[in-house]
Amino acid sequence: MTLTPELLLTVAADRLRATRPELAGQLDLSTPEALCSAREAVTASAADGSDGAVVVTVISVFSLPRWVVETCRFALSLPADRARPWRRSFTRTLHLAGRPDNVKERFRLDHVADDGSMAWVGPSAEGDTTPLRRLLRTFSGTRELTAWAPVTVEVPSPAPAGPPPGRGPVHRDLYISTVRVTVSDVLVQVNHLLAEAALDGLVRPGDRLTIRSVPRLAGLTVPFAALRVDTDPHRPRQLRAYAGLTAET
């Protein structure tokens, strides 16, 4: 698979069509600029509607392997009736800095990492999260990524355990671009990729993911099963592949 500009545009446009198919015929998705405008309009519509939902994370210590595992575990724990409005809101997630232990008495935490370093709230209506968002500041991950040695993690069963996976465990590579990418970028971009992969059945309990860093995904020829494509803030007229899950390896 060669990540051409045309392919990136197709991937990003297909995501929007799949998430909000009822609006597909009204959208101009022919260029990166048109795609960006259409996505902003659809996202605003989802946020204002009664069928939208948002997730909030509370992070005290960020560890990429732990976060990958718990992001998948949280998404896999969601029943269909809660996952559906979040999916229609493009798995919108807000990341806050704080200690889950300090807020668990005041707010319901829907999922907490085993080590207590991070927690998830929602999906819920955006207004329901206002008190928590007023209490905590946005997580500031301004440090740019540097390369790391590949590390393999296993996706655990959610708590409480959901339905059986329906297939045997598989192994995939999770490639993450590092050039001019910050920790905050990872929280946004890779969150979308993993959450949607879990909700769509691409990632299941027992799967193993090898997290690999590359300067850019462009140039890789591995077969991807899912890609996270978004506008490049440093080149606003272009799209960029931030992360990708390969086919079974």
**Radius of gyration for the chain, computed over Cα atoms and rounded to the nearest angstrom:** 17
* CA atoms 110, 113, 119, 124: torsion sign: negative
214: CB partners within 8 A, 6+ apart: 175, 176, 177, 178, 220
pLDDT at residue 150 tops 90: yes
Residue 25 burial (CB count, 10 A): 7
* Predicted pLDDT of residue 51: 65
Banded pLDDT at 27 (limits 50, 70, 90):
confident
Percent of the chain with pLDDT over 90: 68
Banded pLDDT at 237 (limits 50, 70, 90):
confident
CB-count burial class (<10 Å; 0-12, 13-18, 19+) for 218: middle
This prediction's pTM: 0.91
Average pLDDT over residues 18-31: 79
pLDDT in tens, 71-104: 999 999 999 999 999 998 899 999 999 999 999 9
* Predicted pLDDT of residue 160: 62
Whether 152 contacts 190, CB under 8 Å: no
Banded pLDDT at 49 (limits 50, 70, 90):
low
* Predicted pLDDT of residue 38: 78
Lowest mean pLDDT among 9-13, 27-31, 69-73, 179-183: 27-31
Cα 126 off chain centre by: 18
Average pLDDT over residues 20-39: 78
Q: Could you tell me which residue, 143 or 34, shows the higher pLDDT?
A: 143
* Predicted pLDDT of residue 232: 86
Q: What is the DSSP string of the chain?
A: ----HHHHHHHHHHHHHHHSGGGGGG---SSHHHHHHHHHHHHHHHHHSTT--EEEEEESS--HHHHHHHHHHHHHH--HHHHHHHHHTTT-EEEEES-HHHHTTTS--SEE-TTSSEEEEEEE-GGGGHHHHHHSEEP---PBP-----EEEEPPPPSS--S--SS---EEEEEEE-TT-BHHHHHHHHHHHHHHHHHTTSS-TT-EEEEEEES-STT--SPEEEEEEEEETTEEEEEEEEEEEESP-
pLDDT in tens, 161-199: 555 556 789 999 999 999 999 999 999 999 999 999 999
Look up tokens 């949607």; give the residue. 196
* Predicted pLDDT of residue 164: 57
pLDDT in tens, 30-47: 888 888 777 777 766 655
* Predicted pLDDT of residue 246: 97
How far apart CA 11 and CA 5 sit, in angstroms, is 10
* Predicted pLDDT of residue 45: 65
* Predicted pLDDT of residue 47: 57
* Predicted pLDDT of residue 214: 97
How far apart CA 246 and CA 249 sit, in angstroms, is 8
